[in-house]
Structure 1
Amino acid sequence: MAYVVPNEFVTKMIDAGEAKVFMSTRDTLIRAFMAGAILALAAAFAVTITVQTGEPLAGAILFPVGFCLLYLMGFDLLTGVFTLVPLALIDKRPGVTWAGVMRNWWLVFVGNFAGALLVALMMAITFTYGFSEAPNAVGQKIGTIGEGRTVGYAAYGAAGMLTLFIRGVLCNWMVSTGVVAAMMSTSVSGKVIGMWMPIMLFFYMGFEHSIVNMFLFPSGLMLGGNFSIMDYLLWNEIPTVVGNLVGGLTFVGLTLYSTHHRTGPKREPGDMAAPARVPAE
């Protein structure tokens, strides 16, 4: 059958997390690099569609093509390993330690950032003919996004930081749902459909994805966006990473693990108390 039942795909989640902990440094970095690069290209694609059509929904509908491709090729995003890798530790898989989990997270972060940064540079070159002229309409839009989602949050102070964090939580709730949805099917079409829906939702809603932002904000800086590297780190990337971790692990990884793998004790028929009789008037 194409559909995989929850208790089976949750086991797949734990197995995947365990495999990532023990993956070689070289393989982890290469897979993360390619994931960051492909997702960055998808983000550039979606922004281009939005600018050229004037319809943000069109960009959101087509953005998941990048996520589906990188997942099917076995590449790793930080948002996905935030959800999967800790499950191997919680399940007490042999040899899995906190040090191994943190090593995986760090390597994937570095690889994702390097891949996204390379694409940011390449796209900035294409938007400006090698920095020989002002950015085109798409480049200007990316610069505007960078300003609005850094100094725009900063203008609201603590309320802006809270909003940024919550958008990070909501983002990886959806993105990690997409990662898990791909494990619900054994067919390519089923995996793609399962991934497409939550990824489209997060992008259209403007939630904060740490790897997409690794492309949008560096490219925005290269294209003349009116914000600084410190603005980007403090008022976007760092809070977004924390929000992504909380959202993916809490609302996807732990909920599925606790209810489909390490379930609570079942109630016995005798535990069902008889309803109280209501005396007749």
Structure 2
Amino acid sequence: MTPQKQTASQTQLAGQKTEEPKIPVPIFNINALNPAETEAAVENAGVAKTQLSGGKAFVSAMFAGAFIGFGALFFLIVTSDPAMTWGPKRFVGGLAFCMGLVLVLCCGAELFTGNSLMASDIAAHKISWSALAKNWVIVWFGNLAGALLLVTLIGFAGTMGLNDGAVGGTAVATAASKITPDWFTLFFRGILCNILVCLAVRIGFSARSVGDKVLGILLPIAGFVAMGFEHCVANMFFLPVGLLAKTLGFGADAAGADAVTVQGILYNLSAATLGNIVGGAVFVALAYWFVNAKKDAQKAA
């Protein structure tokens, strides 16, 4: 190669070295999703839920029923302390109950009350009514199966006898307090409950980390428990474990203990379930879909 050609080649190579490929720098965003982004995440999750097989949805729902049951048991243990006054007892018990939804959102499980948010997918024409009904039925019964399994295990574990039987007495008293009110009172308590629960679930969708989820759901969930609202999945544990405690001889002197029966359980669950559907589907899912769909229409215009 002649000196002239070598010089030309070296110059060309030098020019090539100066043009280094640009590597895209990832953008990290620690801010929570805004309401419109959260709505999109909720709707995408709803579509994914309808794509689960029946068996997987049922087992996942059993996890949720057991998780909420663990939170409910935590509530019973904390609130069985007679030294605590009413207000602090409700607040601390509510914080203890939060463990259930923390497990659901962070570990992954199908919770009937949270799945009320799938109503936004119906409004957005992303899923069919039959797919929604199938999911809700499978998840409701899966939640019930998981809660009843946990109640059975607790019966063998002797947990109702803790604190010299105070836990069992609290279980009976709590169950009675959920059965003795009239049906419409329970229904409206169910509406109010799932407004807060579904808002907490939306906070979970908007979160960027596990820590965000946990901190975000604490107050809404502790609040609905302290306010005495009705959560059908929690009641799938509270009511059967109250009946179990009563059968074992605990809480005989609790007010309304005679109402803690299988019929009383079904009475409460019918009102709480329908109230939860209205609260979550209408007041949260459809309302947020409407707000964000309206924004999309304005952008298009």
After TM superposition, the score normalised by the length of structure 2 is 0.79
CA-to-aligned-CA distance 1:172-203 (integer Å, 9 cap, x gap):
00000110001112121112111112111111
Q: 1:59 aligns with which of 71, 82, 93?
A: 93
Task: Give distance in 1, aligned partners of 2:297 and 2:60.
Answer: 40
Aligned mate of 2:121, from 88, 96, 106: 88
State the alpha-carbon separation in 2 of the partners of residues 231 and 187 from structure 1.
Answer: 41
The answer to whether the 8 Å contact 1:117/1:218 transfers is yes
Distance (whole Å) between structure 1 residues aligned to residue 297 and residue 121 of structure 2: 22
Aligned-residue RMSD, C-alpha:
2.0
Change (3 A) 1:261 1:194: farther
8 Å Cα contact 1:124/1:139 also seen in 2: no
- 1:39 is matched with which residue? 68
Q: Which residue of 1 aligns with 2:3?
A: none
Aligned pairs for 1:101-180 within 5 A: 101-127=132-158, 136-150=165-179, 152-153=180-181, 160-180=182-202
Q: Equivalent residue for 1:202?
A: 224
Q: 1:28, 1:262 → 2: CA distance?
A: 32
Amino acid at match of 2:40: T
2:213 maps to which of 191, 203, 211: 191
- Distance in 2, matches of 1:10 and 1:56, equals 32
Length, aligned pairs only: 253
Gaps of 5+ in 2: 1-28, 247-256
Q: 1:157 matched to which residue of 2? A: none
**Residue of structure 1 equivalent to 2:283:** 251
1:203-218 pair list within 5 angstroms: 203-218=225-240
Letter in structure 2 aligned against 1:70: V
Q: How much does 1:264 deviate?
A: 7.9
Rg comparison, structure with higher value: 2
Q: Which amino acid aligns with 2:149?
A: L
2:48 aligned partner, one-letter code: A
- 2:119 is paired with a residue whose SS is helix
Which letter does structure 2 place at the counterpart of 1:254? L
- 2:292 is equivalent to residue 260 of structure 1: yes
Give the corresponding residue for 2:105: 71
Deviation, 1:39, is 0.8
CA distance in structure 2 between the aligned counterparts of 1:198 and 1:172, rounded to whole angstroms: 10
Unmatched runs of 5 consecutive residues or more in structure 1: 154-159, 268-281
User: Aligned with 1:28: secondary structure?
Assistant: helix
* Residue 99 (str. 1) matches residue 126 (str. 2): no
The whole-number CA distance in structure 1 between the counterparts of 2:95 and 2:231 is 16
**Structure 1-normalised TM-score?**
0.85
Q: 2:145 & 2:290 partners in 1: Cα distance?
A: 35
Is the Cα–Cα contact under 8 Å of residues 127 and 139 in structure 1 kept in the other structure?
no
